[in-house]
Structure 1
């Protein structure tokens, strides 16, 4: 149990720092669109696709790696809590089309990025 907690915690530290770096780098580019949040979600969705495809193909890999990478790192790296408050703020400002655009980009883009991650894994590792 302690190993699981340690793996999740260490992964979360790196994921949170990565998300902060993206937010710091990209969110100032557009005043009405949080690009860093979108990039974190799309990259995170793609990575979860790659990682889960790997774990499905290699079930013998220690579960602690999944806890570190998926639960810890990606759990802290992806930012759906930030996404939701950004949508709410747009809605509260009567920017309905902007809110719908953000929702569409994140959700459709996230699903497509996850599928891309699985495809990339299959192409790179010929499984």
Structure 2
């Protein structure tokens, strides 16, 4: 014989799992769709602007810097200007921009430069990307805030 109430515990936990999937399923789907779009855009940019062996990886550099600038504007828009649909941030911020920016390729590019006997260029790329990406987020969000809301922060 089972203890009173135990037969409903399994039913409740199964219902909770189904409910959790209903709320998280759309988020997973929009992140995946956005990530695919962002990765396709990054791939197209890399094909259009290939990096010669031992050369500075400009396509990856500008991909990361521009993606960070767009993220700065996007986050300012959805926090200061208008309220966004609950799936917009996961789709665009996590999906599209997460798929577009590529800090893993950035690390691989540094390694390739070092392996090609260009450690100085690798170090310059490491620092330039880091500084430019952080500056892009800060400056783009501040500029967008000032233009769209008339405020400084």
Q: Tell me if structure 2 keeps the 8 A contact 1:27–1:33.
A: no
Find the aligned partners of 2:116 and 2:47 in 1 and give their Cα distance: 24
**21, 32, 50: which is aligned to 1:9?**
32
The CA RMSD over aligned residues, in Å, is 1.8
**51, 73, 90: which is aligned to 1:50?**
73
Q: Deviations over 1:57-88 (max 9, x none)?
A: 15732231000011000111001110001101
Instruction: Tell me the TM-score normalised to structure 2 length.
Output: 0.75
Find the aligned partners of 1:29 and 1:88 in 2 and give their Cα distance: 14
Per the TM alignment, residue 34 of structure 1 is displaced from its structure 2 partner at its CA by: 1.3
**107, 121, 127: which is aligned to 2:130?**
107
**111, 117, 121: which is aligned to 2:144?**
121
Instruction: Tell me the TM-score normalised to structure 1 length.
Output: 0.90
Matching residue of 1:40: 63
Question: Which 5+ residue runs of structure 2 have no aligned equivalent?
Answer: 1-23
Deviates more, 1:65-74 or 1:111-120: 111-120
Find the aligned partners of 1:46 and 1:60 in 2 and give their Cα distance: 20
Structure with higher RCO (Cα < 8 A, 6+ apart): 1
Find the aligned partners of 2:103 and 2:86 in 1 and give their Cα distance: 25
> Given the superposition, is the C-alpha separation of residues 120 and 84 from structure 1 closer, same or farther in structure 2, using an over 3 Å criterion?
same
> Given the superposition, is the C-alpha separation of residues 122 and 29 from structure 1 closer, same or farther in structure 2, using an over 3 Å criterion?
farther
| Structure 1 residue runs of 4 or more that deviate by more than 3 Å after TM superposition | 28-31
Find the aligned partners of 1:31 and 1:99 in 2 and give their Cα distance: 9
Q: Deviations over 1:87-111 (max 9, x none)?
A: 0122223322111111122100001
Of structures 1 and 2, the larger Rg is shown by 2
